Structure formats: C-alpha cells, structure tokens
Structure 1
Amino acid sequence: MDAGRVSRRRTAALPTPVALLFLLPAAVLFGVFVLYPMATALTYSLFSWRGTAQEAFVGLDNFVALFTTEPYRTELPRAFGHNALLFAGAMAAQNSVGLLLAVLLHQRERFRRLFQVLFTMPYLVSPLVVGYLWSLLLSPLFGPVNALLRAVGLDAVAQPWLGDPDTALWVVVLVTAWQWVGFPLLVYGAALGALDPSTQEAAMLDGAGAAQRFRHVTLPLLTPVIGTVSVLTFIFSMEAFPIPYALGGSSGSPAGATDVMSLLFYRTAFHSGASNAIGVSSAVAIVLFLVIVGVSVAFTRWFRGVERRLT
C-alpha cells in the first residue's frame, strides 16, 4: 500500500502535457536568448577570425592568448580584481545596510511602504542612467557634491572623484551599492515578514534581549535568504557594465582604474581593432561565464551546508 501511494505521488508529480505547454514559451525564450548565445560564444572562441570571417580551428589558443599576450595578460587580472572588489563592496552594503533598513522598517508599521518605495526607487532606474547622473553630480567643474563641500569649508576634501585612480573605483563601488541596496531591502523585508513570531516570543520568555534575539534567532533563520542575496550579488557584480561604462567609459578611465570584465569584453570585441577580436572576446566571455558558474555553485553549496548545520 505504501509503495502504491509513493507510485501515485510520483505519477502525479510528473509534468503533464498542459504543464509542458505552459513551460514551452519560457523554454523557447531561454534557449534562444541564453543557451544559443552561450553555445555560439563557445564556438567562436575555438576559431581564429579575420574581421567577421571565420578561419581555422585553433582550439584553446584564444584562451592561451588571454593569459600570455599583451594587453590581455595585464588587463584580464586587473579587470577581474576590480570585479572582486565591486562584489566585496556591494556584498558589505547589501548584507549590512540593506538588512539593517529591512529590520528597522519591519519594526515600524507607520510609513513602512513609503520608505520601501523611496529606498527601492534607485534599483528600478536604469544603471546607465544612474551612472551618468552620478558623473554629473561628481563633476569637478559644476558638480553639486564638490560645491557643497566647498560651501561648508571642506575645500581640501573636494577633488576630481572620477579623475583620480585612487578614488574612481571606490566611486563605482559606492554608486553600485547605493543603487542596489533596495533589492536586499525588499528580499529581507519579505523574509522577516514570513518568520514565525512564536520564535521571538519564546526567546523573549527565556530572557533574551533584542540583540540576542536578532543574533541567535532571526539571523540564523535568514541564512537561506542571505545565501540567495549573496549569490545574486556576485552574479550582478561580475556582470557589471552600465555603471562602470557611464563613470569611466569603455577604457575604464582613469588609467584603467574602473575597468571590469564586461568592459574588457566590450573593448576587445568592438574597440580593439585586432584581426582576431571575435575569437579573443568570445574567450573573455567564456572565462567570465565559467567564473560566475563555478563561484555561484560553490557559494550555493556552502550556504546549504551552513543551513544544514543550523537545523
């Protein structure tokens, strides 16, 4: 009897023709706009090119060129390091400021929706628009940021934020974190609203204070959400293009200080003028894809292990 029930449950869980019909549009879109470009990029990276004309099969030579020939040997690790720093900054902001704002808003019913909308608005604006707006705000000639600093007597602090290699990348990190902080706010807010209030009540009866309840009850229960936000933040950071492009241009100015992997791909494909631009740029895309998939899978498995230990 038990085996029959299991069999019936498995049969009921199998996709029906109607379910497959509803999944078909999404599967077609995924295949056309994700799988096909990925397969095409992999194919392109294994051939040499003269302009747009495909030539001989070269195997992994395009990948070898990325790590052995200039300027790729210098630009690739530099761009990847900038992506890693961008991820670290966004991760710190989203899992601290975003979580803090979500907790504060969760504790207050009044004006909660208003502040959620205000904090989320930058996330809904195009990153390219956000980047250009901040480039105007930080302009050393007419930008209001430096004008405000001079008005309050902080002339020494006012500087060309995007023209100095020591500050340009940090501007990209801060602008990116500022725009995306609304995303974890919404996710953490929804997760906090779904928590069972009886766990907080039990901790209060045991004499736990607010800080202890957050550390030992709320935070462990949010581990799955923290993992999701962290993985998505890593993917977004590695794919970053609009804000670095708007703030530093395709060359990652000044002096490559804002260069990232997507800019390297774009520059190699369209601005390098190299005869084998398609092959090498496709190799850059494949390397970026492998890094994103590999680290995302590692992050996911690590967070799942943390969840199992907590339960």
Structure 2
Amino acid sequence: MRTEISTNVSKQTKHRKRKGWKVHLFPIPALVIYGLFIVYPLLAALSYSFFDWNGIKKGVFIGLANYKDLFTLQPFSGMFWNAFEHNILYFIVQMIVQNGIAFLLAFIIYKKIRGAEFFKIAYFLPRLLSVIIVGFLWKLIMNPNFGALNVILGKFGFDSLQKAWLGDPKTALISIILVNCWFGIGFAVLIFLAGLQSIPKELIEAATLDGAKGFKMLKRIILPLMMPSIMILTVLTFIQSFEAFELVYAMQGSQGEPYRSTDTLAVYFYRLAFGGSTGDSTAIGLGSALAVVLFVFICTFTAILLKIMQKKQVDM
C-alpha cells in the first residue's frame, strides 16, 4: 500500500515538474520583442558610435573620435550644450509647474470635495490623446493670426500680450513646455493622489489631536510620508524631460526653430542621425554617440535619484 502511495506521489511530482517548466516559456515572446526592439538598438548604437560613416555606409573604425567631436567640434558641441540647457529647463519647469499644480489638485481631491471623481477623470483626459495630436492642436491655438489664445487675449483687452508664441525665441520653448505640463498633469495628479490615499488615517487623526493643522500638518506629516510618490514622479519627470521629442517635433519640426531655441537632445539626435528637413546630411556616428551619452546620463541620474529615494524610505 505504501509502495503504491509513494509511486503515485512520485508520478504526481514528475507531472507537476513537466507542467512547471512550460510556464517559463510564456515570457519568451516578450523577451524576444524586448531584445529585438530595445537591447539590439542600444548595442547597435554603441557599435555605430565607434565608426566613421559616409551617409548610411559604415566606414573605418575611429574609436572615440565621434564623442570627442560631439563635445569639442563646432557646430556640434555648441548645439549639444544648447539642447542640453533646454532639457534642463524642461525638467525644472515641469517639476515646478506640472508637479506643483498636480500636488495642489491631488490634495484638493483628497479632501473629498464635491465632484472629486469627475475632476480625477477631467484632469487625466488630455493624457488619453496622442502627443502628436496635442502638438498640432496647440500649434493651431497659438497661431499668431487666427489662434484661439491671441483671440481670447484680445477679447479681454490684453492686446499687448498677443504675440507669435512659437515664432519668438523667447517664448517658443516655454510655450512647448507648458503644453507638455498641461498634457502630463493628469498622470501626476494620479501619482500624488495614490500617495495621499496610502497615508494611514490614524496618523492624520493623531497628528490633528496633537495640534498639527494646515501647513504644519503638510510639512511634518503628509510630505514626509509622500516622499516615495514624490521621488517616483521626480524620476519619471526627469526621464520624460530628457527624452522630449514628439511634442517638440509636432510643434516646431526637427530644426528646433526658431534659431534652435526649441532644440532638445532627442531632436538634435534625430537631426544628426537622419538628417534635417532642410537637407542636412546624416551623421550616424555622431548621432549614435549622442544617443549613448544621453542613455548613460539618464541611467546614471536615475540611479542616483532611486538611491536617494531608497535612503529616504530607510530613514523613515
């Protein structure tokens, strides 16, 4: 009897093992797609950056010459640092405007105002649109001749504020960044709202009994407990800011017009690698070098932010 039971158990175990290994086959299609469209392009870009190129034809191996040219040879170095500064501005404005307003809106919804559920949906609606559609929509709104923005300013008597928003180097980049803030604010609201709702109510009630109210409650209780959400959104905002391409391309094209005032590193990479719309020649080696530099920079800074976030969580 014992022998039969032991045999049955052994058969069941072997059957489970045979079925178990099949589970490991399910991730294979996803891994193949990831390797084909993510890992391979990254490795190919790294390889391409070490070669000279004649159009789309690979030339001789030149080592780090493309990296050197990117940082020291004009006009490449000038356009690189110009685009880099624009990405920094992109990040700062998004952190202050987009995430600042998003936190206030999330806090208002958290307080369970009337129609809070509607506002959650309303703030997120722009995110459902394609970035290209958003870009073309706002390009029409900011048109200096018939755009809704100038028309509204004129109706309310602010004629002095009317201008070619995307045609003026002083306002073109900030206009695009603010459009990006409008587009991304709903996602930021959801992240902050999730962080607020994760705070135990017992802590809020205990702090209230201890006399913590208003700004004191916000500073000493709510913000420290929301630090994981804040850091996650900071990381995502940083990555998005330094990958900014679609909206800039939709509103201003690949030349960073006017006068390179809306250039970002991603737009500059596109122009280097594939040539501009004005007939610029391609520079695949330089473009690949820029892609590698951008990838390393984003990964390094993201790792630093995640390390800080981990330390904050441990301290808490």
Do the structures match in fold with TM over 0.5? yes
> Identical aligned pairs, as a percentage?
39
The residue number in structure 1 matching 2:6 is: none
Tell me which of 270, 295, 298 is aligned to 1:292. 298
Distance 1:109 1:176, change over 3 A: same
Query: SS at the partner of 2:161?
Result: coil
The residue number in structure 1 matching 2:14 is: none
The residue number in structure 1 matching 2:153 is: 149
The residue number in structure 1 matching 2:68 is: 64
Q: How far does residue 288 in structure 1 lie from its aligned partner after superposition? A: 0.8
Q: How far apart are the structure 1 equivalents of 2:22 and 2:227?
A: 36
Amino acid at match of 1:141: N
Q: Structure 2 regions of 5+ residues with no counterpart? A: 1-19
The residue number in structure 1 matching 2:7 is: none
Q: How far does residue 29 in structure 1 lie from its aligned partner after superposition? A: 2.5
Q: Is the 8 A contact 1:98 1:181 kept in 2?
A: yes
Q: Is the 8 A contact 1:93 1:181 kept in 2?
A: no
Q: How far does residue 148 in structure 1 lie from its aligned partner after superposition? A: 1.3
* CA-based RMSD: 1.7
Tell me which of 229, 242, 254 is aligned to 2:258. 254
Query: SS at the partner of 1:156?
Result: helix
Q: How far apart are the structure 2 equivalents of 1:182 and 1:121?
A: 7
Map of 1:1-311 to 2, 5 A cutoff?
17=21, 20-108=24-112, 110-271=114-275, 277-309=283-315, 311=316
Amino acid at match of 1:29: I
Q: Structure 1 regions of 5+ residues with no counterpart? A: 1-15
Distance 1:199 1:25, change over 3 A: farther
Q: How far does residue 210 in structure 1 lie from its aligned partner after superposition? A: 3.0
Query: SS at the partner of 1:259?
Result: coil
**Number of equivalenced pairs:** 295
The residue number in structure 2 matching 1:11 is: none
Q: How far does residue 19 in structure 1 lie from its aligned partner after superposition? A: 5.4
Q: How far does residue 275 in structure 1 lie from its aligned partner after superposition? A: 6.4
The TM-score normalised by the length of structure 2 is 0.89
1:130-161 C-alpha deviation (Å, 9 max, x unpaired): 11111110111000111111122211111111
1:160-192 C-alpha deviation (Å, 9 max, x unpaired): 111111111110111111111111111111222
